[in-house]
Each structure stands twice: as structure tokens, then as C-alpha cells.
Amino acid sequence: MVTRRKFLHQTALGSVAAAMGGTVLSSCSEANTETPVSTNAPIKPLAISTWDFGMKANDAAMKILDNGGSALDAVEAGVMVIEADEKNTSVGIGGAPDRDGRVTLDACIMAPDGSCGSVCALEYIVHPVSVARRVMEKTPHVILVGDGALEFALSQGFKKENLLTEESKKAWEEWKKTSKYKPVINVEMHDTIGMITIDKNGEIAGACTTSGLAYKMQGRVGDSPIIGAGLYVDNEVGGAAATGLGEAVIRAVGSFLVVELMRNGRSPQAACEEAVARVVKKYKDYKDIQVGFIAVNKKGQTGGFSIHKGFNYAVFSNGKNEVKEGTYLIE
């Protein structure tokens, strides 16, 4: 008998084989972490975030959701916890600088009604996600970049702060000795918090925030603030977020793809698997990079999948906050 789990496993391998012109590289993980499909009532409230540090973000979001707060307020509050964590070197204050020593942050946010806001290469502001929300709510635009984003943030009362911590500065000075510009899978690529929340009314919101690729060229922007690439939410379908090398995610418009696949009937897990297959197909050096997706649908079913082993994500649902090991393409 073909069980649903086996079927999904085979589907993923089929997609990947097709992407590789028929060659399956490696088996997906045995432990499929997909939420079982059921006909039960939608699971809500719910919070899902990339990486294990998403647990802290989920906690903050769930405090708001449990009290009847909105998905939008919850998702902003959730990722703000990680932005404020100086120890996290891939998001907010303490984030790795570009090759010139400048910490430039990217973030975006999406509301259940489809409105969205984004900032790119924003300096000196600890909470780019909140500036992105102001862009969404207070301007006729979606994206503000660089000096314009900073000027807008200051006009909205945000305070200028030094984001380059002593530790990040030291690491950057060490990097300058060799200036090797190659991502290290699941170390340097342990980046980005992407988060989706569902409130008690079943409304869905999302946010994504990062300091981007460590020691990037000045002005480089990744997938995280690009609506559809690093994040996408459709209140009728679900939401998805990406982590990993933005240059690869953007080519596949990854998060939008995941949501569209769910709209067309794929489970969140199967949609993430297909999106990774698409990324792999479009990026010839995929073995050297990491890309992962998380997804949740309107029913509260979740999934996560990446190119390489080592990607995990945090799901808070039914009163329990836990880290799930994502399944993957290459051991």
C-alpha cells in the first residue's frame, strides 16, 4: 500500500529527479516532518519561524496571539526579538557587516489583506521590520532603500544606533585577512528569520528580516525584503518564507512559488520540496549553497525542506513550541 508519507517522499524525489534531468542525487530525509493531513478544524493560533532561534520569536508572537491579538502584530513582535539579539550575527543588531564594515539590514512584512512593506540596505536601525511596516502603512509605496529608508525611519521617530557590535567587528576584521567570499553552508548561511503567524480569526501575516550575506558587496540585496522571494502570504491559501542564499531564491521567486503550489493543492511539505527542486534546477552550483523554505496553509498544516541537511524551523501550535528538523535533498 502506498501510504501518504511514502507518496510524498516519492513525489519529492520525482520532482528533484526531474529538476536534475532524471538523476536523483540523494534521498530526502527519512523523517518526514509534515503535519498529517486531517479534516479537522484549522489549527490556530499558530506561529512558524525559520531556524531554531525561531522558538524565541514564536514565544513572543504567541503571547499576542493567545490574547486575541492580530497576526500582523504578532509576526512583527516575533521577529523583533531576533532583531534585538546581539548574539545573532545574521539578523538586526550584531548582524555581520558588508565587506566595508557597514551593517545593512533588509526586511519585509505582509498583512492578511495583501498589503506589504519592505526596506533594503537600511543602516543604523535595530528594527527594520517595524520600518517596513511603516512603509506599508504610512506611505503609498512598498519598498524604500538605503538613505531614503533611513530618512523615512528617522522621520517616523526611529533612533539611530550603532549596529556593529565588538564581536561582529572582530569577525569582520578576521575575515578581511583572507577576504574569502564563499558562503559556508549552515554556518554563514544560518541566516534570516522568516515567520508566518495565524491568529484566532484565521488571518495570516508574515515577516522576514536579515543582515544578509556576510561581507557582501556594498548595496547587495538578497531575497528577504523581496515580496514573493523571501516571503509571501495569501490569506486564502497560506504563507511561506525562505532562508539561505538570496541570489538562488530570487531566481525561483521561491516563497510565491510555494504559496501558488499550495493554492493548486500541494501540501505545505510538498510545496517546499517542489520549490527547492526549482531552485536547484536554476542554480548550477546548488551543491555549494543552502536554501530552505517553510510553509503553512490555511488549515495550519506546516512543512519545511532545504537543499542540505541542517535546516530546522520552529512551530508553535496546539500549545506546544518545538523545533522540527527539516527534510532535505543532499546529506
Residues recognised as catalytic: 192
* Residue 290 binds ligand GLY (CB under 6 A): no
Q: In what order do the strands lie in the sheet with 143-145?
A: 143-145, 116-122, 105-110, 204-210, 193-198, 46-50, 312-317, 320-325
Q: Which is nearer to ligand GLY, 106 or 274 (CB)?
A: 106
* The only residue of 222, 239, 300, 326 in contact with ligand GLY, by rule CB under 6 A: 222
Min dist. Cβ of residue 290 to ligand GLY (A): 10
From residue 197 to residue 216, the character string flagging contacts with ligand GLY as x (rule: CB under 6 A) and all else as - is: -------------x-xx---
Using the contact rule CB under 6 A, the part of the chain among 29-37, 118-126, 150-158, 244-252 near ligand GLY is 244-252
DSSP bridge pairs for 295: 240, 303
User: Which residue, chain included where needed, has cell 516563497?
Assistant: 255
246: contact with ligand GLY by CB under 6 A: yes
Query: What are the two backbone dihedrals, phi and then psi, of residue 64, each rounded to the nearest 5 degrees?
Result: -75, -45
DSSP letter assigned to residue 31 = S
**Residue 215 near residue 96 (C-beta atoms within 8 A):** yes
Whole-number Å distance between alpha carbons of 301 and 205: 15
Of the candidates 325, 327, 331, 305, the one whose C-alpha atom is nearest the C-alpha of residue 52 is 325
Q: Before 112, cis peptide (omega within 30)?
A: no
The answer to whether residue 75 forms part of the interface with ligand GLY (CB under 6 A) is no
Report the residue closest to ligand GLY, judged by CB: 222
SS3 143: strand
- The minimum distance between CB 224 and ligand GLY, in angstroms, equals 5
At residue 11's C-alpha, the angle toward residues 7 and 14, to 5°, is 140
CB of 80 to ligand GLY, least distance (A): 18
Span interacting with ligand GLY, options 74-82, 138-146, 239-247, 296-304, rule CB under 6 A? 239-247
**Residues 172 to 191 in contact with ligand GLY, rule: CB under 6 A:** 191
Residue 88 interacting with ligand GLY (CB under 6 A) = no
Distance of closest approach, residue 302 Cβ to ligand GLY, in angstroms? 20
Stretch that binds ligand GLY, among 39-47, 170-178, 237-245, 258-266 (CB under 6 A): 237-245
SS3 121: strand
Residues that bind ligand GLY in the complex, under the rule CB under 6 A? 191-192, 210, 212-213, 222-224, 243-246
